């Protein structure tokens, strides 16, 4: 009868290997002030970026530097690979999936040349944010070293 009171927590997984850091500490006002949504950032250590949740890819930018996935539970998560990477005009990014694809957490989305990104972008730090927070009461964040698909956030 009151199933909405016992709503399950939703888990968000690391889209790559790396070190999870606080969003507030990165050098980008849009992300550090949570204007694009709340979440964490990852200092990436791997070239493959995957789906952080099960869902449908709602957006992959034409430059392949960012993508969003929306779950069946109306949780939308955006992964923005690096800072100011839109200026690279797609160089160093290879799309492995497409908008409209149904994906499971861990499915490959973008392959990057991480050395190129580190050499040519402002920073390789990758914000992972909940872009639609209308149904979010609390986010438990895991600031630690992670492997791809380790849990990085739990959302209530």
- Residues with a catalytic annotation lie at 80
Residue-wise burial string across 15-34, b where 16 or more C-beta atoms lie within 10 A, e elsewhere: bbbbebbebeebebeebeee
| Helices (H), ranges, the chain | 29-32, 114-120
Sign (positive or negative) of CA dihedral 56, 59, 61, 67? negative
Q: Match 């957490």 to its residue by tokens.
A: 105
Are residues 109 and 70 in contact, defined by beta-carbon separation less than 8 angstroms? no
| Helices (H), ranges, 11-60 | 29-32
Are residues 152 and 146 in contact, defined by beta-carbon separation less than 8 angstroms? yes
Q: Match 């390789």 to its residue by tokens.
A: 124
Q: Match 């839109």 to its residue by tokens.
A: 86
């Amino acid at each position: 009868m009151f199933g909405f009171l016992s709503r399950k927590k939703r888990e968000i997984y690391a889209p790559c290997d790396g070190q999870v850091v606080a969003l507030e500490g990165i050098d980008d006002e849009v992300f550090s002030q949570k204007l694009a949504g709340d979440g964490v950032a990852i200092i990436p250590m791997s070239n493959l970026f995957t789906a952080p949740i099960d869902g449908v890819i709602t957006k992959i930018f034409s430059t392949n530097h960012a993508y969003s996935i929306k779950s069946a539970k109306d949780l939308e998560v955006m992964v923005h690979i690096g800072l100011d990477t839109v200026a690279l005009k797609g160089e160093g990014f290879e799309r492995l999936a497409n908008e409209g694809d149904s994906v499971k957490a861990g499915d490959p989305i973008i392959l990057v040349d991480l050395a190129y990104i580190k050499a040519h972008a402002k920073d390789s730090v990758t914000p992972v944010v909940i872009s639609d927070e209308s149904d979010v009461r609390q986010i438990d964040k895991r600031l630690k070293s992670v492997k791809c698909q380790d849990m990085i956030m739990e959302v209530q």
